[in-house]
Amino acid sequence: MLNLDYEIFEVWVAYNDDAIDDIFRQTIEQLSGKITPILINNLVRELNLKEDIKAYLKLSKLIKKVKPDILHCHSSKAGVLGRIAAKRRRVNKIFYTPHAYSFLSTEFSKRKKYLFIRIEKFLSRNATTKTFNVSNSEKYSPLKYNIDNDKKLKVIYNGW
């Protein structure tokens, strides 16, 4: 868990209740009063244009309200929607941790994987200050597909 001075930092966490585990729930409870949890149930894993637009609009509205200095997105879907909203709202620092790139998933067709690579490339170059990868092999993927350069990528092992 992060060691933050909650008197200095104001932390907001947007999440979908269906996508979290018991450890995340316990952490949210333990940090009650120190962080502001924001439930966005439209932020679903599967591609769903209607829900994705609603989630984006809610994220954008939240960013407009909070005016964060830093926005850190986790996972491919939240990473796409969050980075677009943050860039639109002119957030100074936009960080991203993919936790496995969607274009590497075996469940998607070659056409979708190509689209995901193009999206990641555009957002990495235009709406991301730094990408944190949870392993060296995850860091290798964006380099292999020419998504961005080595200077924009940093490995921080999961759980550190």
Domain ranges for the chain: 46-155
One-letter amino acid for residue 155 of the chain? V
Backbone phi, psi, residue 7, to 5°:
-80, -20
Report residue 49 as tokens.
Answer: 């244009």
User: What's the confidence (pLDDT) of residue 133?
Assistant: 96
User: What's the confidence (pLDDT) of residue 1?
Assistant: 47
* Residue 119 CA: distances (Å) to CA of 32, 127, 157: 35, 11, 24
How would you classify the pairing of strands 70-74 and 35-39?
Answer: unpaired
Residue 13, burial from CB neighbour count under 10 angstroms (0-12, 13-18, 19+): middle
Distance separating alpha carbons of residues 150 and 148, to the nearest angstrom? 7
Strand partners of residue 132:
154
CATH code assigned to 46-155: 3.40.50.2000
* Residue 112 CA: distances (Å) to CA of 105, 119, 133, 158: 10, 10, 22, 27
Q: Per residue of the chain (160 residues), what is the pLDDT tens digit?
A: 457 788 888 999 999 988 788 998 999 999 999 999 999 999 998 889 999 999 999 999 999 999 999 999 999 999 999 999 999 999 999 999 999 999 999 999 999 999 999 999 999 999 999 999 999 999 999 999 999 999 999 999 976 5
